Amino acid sequence: MPDPRSSSGAPGRSLLRVAFPNSDPENPIHWVLPSRLHAVETVFAMTVHKSQGSEFQHIALLLPQTPNPILTRELVYTGIPPPAPGLR
């Protein structure tokens, strides 16, 4: 995502940055250069059922803010697998 606050020196060009939400109300977005994310492995979103049987070090399960009839306890259980051996 281009950081609208900075430019690469050329008119009309933005410097590529990665945006993270920030808890500071004065600066709600924390901008980082992609080159500073060397320890991050790029992955793509995956459905709960496709992730079954996979092992991950970190999981983010995004849930709707309003009740949804297909969101069941079983679906959440499927989406948050037990940690791999050696992980806490």
pLDDT tens sequence across 5-45: 554 555 666 788 888 888 888 989 999 888 888 777 666 66
What is the C-alpha to C-alpha distance for residues 88 and 84, in angstroms, rounded to an integer?
8
What is the C-alpha to C-alpha distance for residues 88 and 82, in angstroms, rounded to an integer?
9
The pLDDT value given to residue 74: 87
In this prediction the pTM is 0.40
pLDDT tens sequence across 70-80: 888 888 888 88
Tally Cβ neighbours within 10 Å of residue 17: 19
The pLDDT value given to residue 5: 54
3-state secondary structure the chain: CEEEEEECCCCCCEEECEEEECCCCCCCEEEECHHHCCCCCCCCCCCCCCCCCCCCCCCCCCCCCCCCCCCCHHHHHHHCCCCCCCCC
